[in-house]
Structure 1
């Protein structure tokens, strides 16, 4: 069945310009939404990365009304293609405390509650009240070191340098309605609902979308050196549904004030709701982009997950065991001005194999006579 596009787009979608990707019978296509109509841009620009670089969002072959959805046989893909997929972590005070809990619990969920109570009373108010990298933050750091309370996670929470890491390989992210994967050998994990900023090669922020930066708390909790294994697995990065481009109706200030709502519905009737309030972020999104760009080069642009306030602590099964995913969980991430991203949880082992890498992507565009339009 065709995806109901109206249900996953903002109520004011008619005022905005959106760009994304869809899988057609011939291969990936670049699509745009303008004024309630769908357009296929692929013959003009064959990648979203190229459209972002050249600011090429107008024109295209009209597909039809937004209300009619995608053509038969088409399905949504992640709205990015050749961009590097980067992420920032520990950008909210609450998530900083949760990362320290994982570290001290060595990935053992049963110890989390006791450690959480201790840390909240000694650390929580401090890291919520200082600006990262400020003199006050450095004084708090020294006080925590003197108390034996310092952590590598607190370093990136209140120190001058943000945590920036590579989330997933180019072309590996999944889109709306796709299965999303957690490792089959993880016993403590959760979704991370986030705003994802979309940037060109020079670091200019052109728009935003939503993302699920799936997190394995047991793996990363055992050692921060397991971050890559905790974060980068098949189908572990969901992005979508579309990129909303900045214009007079939607700006970076709307991102700064965005609420990102999360709903998890389990196959056993379980339900969890959460919220990621961007107003509580410790570092401004523009600063995170600047730190991501740093002394790096991203010739095809990049996207950046901004981090999350959400860290589920309520018990799902055993008392004190906290939350972890079950196979079949439906995860819905929504923000009023950006849209809705929904995925169903499976294991990375059982998720559909990732087969369209850079080589296959370029071969497909070559066969369609589009490779010169990347």
Structure 2
């Protein structure tokens, strides 16, 4: 695999790489080269995002040139290889669900099919268009949403997914533990029990402990449709598995040239290329999101719930694949070996190959390992 990050020529991009014999370091991209800016004052991405002006701090930090961006490894089994890793470190990894009306209908279909892909086509034909027409352009939590809820309940079509899709409260769940996300070029994992699954191309916000949105990147919220379809109480099993959360390639920090309004206008593309010759192309337009990104942040972090190390927040996706792959009416599901590319002009490309979670490298380098590593390098300040 020779993936490309496809980053734009302008913008401030901060991330993390693994340096052989050293470990994880904080980096900034400058004219196609990667500079190590790790310091005792800012040893982690968490600390960079906590600064009032991370862009100004990076501009004043000369750093150490490590390599060209093109020199970083893609997929590798060498745990000490020079490579890009997830830009998140100590942050909580949270995700918003059912934030687009079209994908919300697919969640209802999963629920009615009880995780059986053979039933999906018939259910989609029966209720998909009907429910979708009712929900087009609706504002979650509005009086109109309450009216639609009453109407759908009377028709027996109400669902827990519609509740979080158009009700006042957003669905926000823990996608994985801090330090467990994987980065550009790494393999992404599917639990071996799943037979109906898909990628979810999303924008991920980088948020500090005070709820300030400091930047954005791309994410793949790998989803097991059959597991969640059996029961919403299996959401943890459907969403949080080894290597099931990809983030990257870099965080684009907000500055005068890029901000939250650019996120609101973002157009994501998805491409899945299978070893069997199968190709799937999809899109997700942030212009069609039902909940504003700032509202999702405030529903997640505030006086009601604190995240002292900040958080990375997946914003959800419009994409819900219905293209048949293996048999008519069964829609799409991954095969091991699929190459997934999620792209957005302002954020670059996140590229990962699909494998079973049991075949992906085990997650061993957690928070305790990071703290010991930083302490050994003299990077933990006492105040």
Does TM, normalized by the shorter one, top 0.5? yes
Secondary structure class of the residue paired with 2:131: helix
Partner of 1:241: 249
CA contact (8 A) 1:82 1:300 kept: yes
Listed as ranges, the gaps of 5+ residues in structure 1 are none
Partner of 2:15: 20
Secondary structure class of the residue paired with 1:235: coil
CA contact (8 A) 2:197 2:223 kept: yes
Q: Does 1:353 align with 2:362?
A: yes
Q: Give the structure-1-normalised TM-score.
A: 0.95
Offset, 1:365: 1.0
Trace 1:29-108 onto structure 2 (pairs within 5 A). 29-44=25-40, 45-54=42-51, 55=54, 56-58=57-59, 59-63=61-65, 66=68, 69-70=71-72, 73-108=81-116
Partner of 2:305: 296
CA contact (8 A) 1:42 1:60 kept: no
Q: CA RMSD in A?
A: 1.8
CA contact (8 A) 1:89 1:306 kept: yes
Offset, 1:126: 1.4
Trace 1:89-128 onto structure 2 (pairs within 5 A). 89-128=97-136
Trace 1:266-305 onto structure 2 (pairs within 5 A). 266-294=274-302, 295-305=304-314
Partner of 1:362: 371
Partner of 1:8: 5
Match of 1:178 among 162, 165, 186: 186
Aligned length: 369
Which aligned segments of 4 or more residues in structure 1 are displaced greater than 6 angstroms? none
CA contact (8 A) 1:46 1:373 kept: no
Secondary structure class of the residue paired with 1:361: helix
Partner of 1:158: 166
Secondary structure class of the residue paired with 1:197: strand
Cα pair distance change 1:279/1:86, threshold 3 Å: same
Offset, 1:251: 1.1
Secondary structure class of the residue paired with 1:104: helix
Secondary structure class of the residue paired with 2:381: helix
List per-residue Cα deviations over 1:244-298 (Å, max 9, x = no partner).
0011111111111111110000011110000011101001111111111141111
Offset, 1:36: 4.5
Partner of 1:167: 175
List per-residue Cα deviations over 1:22-53 (Å, max 9, x = no partner).
00111100001245443211125210000110
CA contact (8 A) 1:49 1:83 kept: yes
**Distance of 2:127 and 2:197 partners within structure 1:** 21
Cα pair distance change 1:70/1:345, threshold 3 Å: closer
CA contact (8 A) 2:35 2:67 kept: no
CA contact (8 A) 2:92 2:307 kept: yes
